[in-house]
Amino acid sequence: MHIQIAAVGKLKEKYLVLGIAEYAKRLGPYVKLTLTEVPDERAPETMSAAEEAMVREREGERLLSVIKPDAHVIALALDGELWSSEDLAGQLDSLATYGRSHVAFVIGGSNGLAPAVMKRAQQKLSFGRMTLPHQLMRLVLLEQVYRAVKINRGEPYHK
C-alpha cells in the first residue's frame, strides 16, 4: 500500500521532525510512505473572508497538484467522520482489498482546505472537534496510520 500525507507548510519544530521520522521508519517495512509538503501562502495575520478564501484556494491548488489521479483522498477536516483506530485500520484494509492501494491524506494550512480539495476527497476524517496545529496533526496522523497497520497485521502495539 502507498500512503501519502500531503500537507501545507514546512515542518520547523525539531521534536515534530524527529517524531515523524520515527514513525516513518517504523512504517517502512509495511507501506510505501510519501510525505509531501507544499508551501503555505504568505498572508497577513488578519485577513478578510475573501483573502482567506484566496489563501485556501492557492494552497488547495498546490495540494491537488501533488496528488495522483488514482489516489483515494481522505481530507482531514473538523466536520469529517470520527473514526476509532480500529475504524481507520478497517478503512485502510478495505481500500487495499478493493484495489485502492494509493491513499492520500490531506492536511490543510491554518485556514483549512479549499473547496476544490474537499470535492476531490472521497472521505473526510476528523480527529475531534478540537483544533490542533496542522504541523502537529501530521505526527498524530502518522502514529494512527502506524497503529492501523499493526492492527491489520495482528501485531502488538495498539493496546
The arithmetic mean of pLDDT across residues 97-107, rounded, is: 92
> Could you tell me the pLDDT band of residue 129, with boundaries at 50, 70 and 90?
confident
Q: Which of 18-27, 45-54, 110-119, 138-147 has the lowest mean pLDDT?
A: 45-54
Residue 158's pLDDT is 58
Question: Is residue 127 marked as binding?
Answer: yes
Question: Is residue 129 marked as binding?
Answer: yes
The arithmetic mean of pLDDT across residues 111-140, rounded, is: 93
Question: Is residue 131 marked as binding?
Answer: yes
The dihedrals phi and psi of 99, each to the nearest 5 degrees, come to 80, 15
Q: How many CA atoms lie within 13 A of 113 on its CB side?
A: 26
Task: Give the distance, in angstroms, between the CA of residue 91 and the centroid of all CA atoms in the same chain.
Answer: 14
> Could you tell me the pLDDT band of residue 26, with boundaries at 50, 70 and 90?
very high
Residue 122's pLDDT is 97
The per-residue pLDDT for range 64-97, each reduced to its tens digit, is 999 999 999 999 999 999 999 999 999 999 999 8
Question: Is residue 105 marked as binding?
Answer: no
The arithmetic mean of pLDDT across residues 99-113, rounded, is: 92
Residue 159's pLDDT is 55
Question: Is residue 128 marked as binding?
Answer: yes
- Show the cell assigned to 131: 483544533
- Inter-CA distances, 55 with 45, 113, 137, 142, Å: 12, 9, 20, 26
Question: Is residue 76 marked as binding?
Answer: yes
The arithmetic mean of pLDDT across residues 103-128, rounded, is: 96
Q: Domain boundaries in the chain?
A: 2-153
Residue 122 is given by DSSP the state: S
CA pair distance 20, 144, nearest whole angstrom: 12
Give the fold, CATH level 3, of 2-153: Alpha/beta knot (3.40.1280)
